[in-house]
Amino acid sequence: MDGFTLLMAVYARDDEAFVRHAFESATTAQELPPTHAVVVRDGPVGDGVARWLDEIEADPTVTVIRLEHNGGLANALNVGLEAAPTPIVARADADDICLPQRFSLQIPLMMAGMDLVGSAIAEFTDDPRRPGAVRPVPTDQAEIERQARLICPFHHPTVVFRKPAVEAVGGYPQLRQMEDYLLWVKMLMNGAKVANVGQVLVHYRVGAGAFSRRGGATLARSEAQIQREFLAMGFITKCQYVRNRILRGPLYRHMPAWLRRIAYHLWGHTTIGRSTAQVTDVRS
């Protein structure tokens, strides 16, 4: 095995303590650690994160790329992806916590021929050792493709993907907060082999404003754009387009944040169903 690369991006609002914990959980704390890491600084960052970048850069297996201006997550990840020295790349966010067995479960699936593998997540607010709601995932290709026609079937901070499969569809598209969803669908349309590990492999930080950021006019416009692209690509039918615009459009994006959170969890659990989501209880 040639190993695999961890890909992470940091920006101005990232907290130094969160970043340090997230990076450690995805590298040295892993049963199967990445052989390389690429960290992209997306514009200026705080003094603490800047010091941390200087520290990790001393490791010859770590590449730090410093972008002068903040260009958004999609741009940062595309830049980092280009620098990744291995065909297999694992994503991690700068404030989430990977469980130690994450890569030891995902990488063998990639070695067996998968192009994209994700997992379920468990949310936490302050203490990652005390996770709350579990967000399950469909695990097999057919169920993933079915769900993708309504909601995103992968949690972005959990994915491991094959670099050539991402590059074959143009990398991350420039789409606010939904760049990953469009990328996964493009990969599916291009014949990618995909799967999810049904158990929780990442503890996902949910701050006070997490579901507020899922609403608003800007994101509603991105939602309209992605549904138009899905229709133009032939991924969804006209009837599915109308359904998605009703369910995912202004009604969802402009409802109160507390109600959006309830709807999000009810929607995901209903869409997936128990038969395709074998989720372990991470709170035991």
Residue 135 contacts residue 122 (beta carbons within 8 Å): yes
| pLDDT top residue among 7 and 133 | 7
| pLDDT greater than 50 at residue 101 | yes
Question: CATH for 5-208, among 3.90.550.10, 3.20.20.140, 3.30.565.60, 1.10.287.3610?
Answer: 3.90.550.10
Q: Specify the pTM.
A: 0.88
The two beta strands, 97-98 and 88-91, are: unpaired
Q: For the residues of 3-16, what is the DSSP string, one character each?
A: --EEEEEE-TT--H
Among 79, 97, 73, 81, smallest CA distance to 11 is for 73
Which helix or strand (DSSP H or E) is residue 98 part of? strand 97-98
Domain boundaries, given as residue ranges, for the chain: 5-208
Q: Give percent above pLDDT 90 in the chain.
A: 74
- Over residues 229-278, the pLDDT tens digits come to 999 999 999 999 999 998 887 665 555 555 656 555 555 554 444 333 33
Cα gap 154→148, rounded to integer Å: 9
| pLDDT top residue among 146 and 247 | 146
In the numeric block, the tokens 């980092």 are attached to 80
| pLDDT top residue among 55 and 211 | 55
Distance from the Cα of residue 156 to its chain's centroid: 1
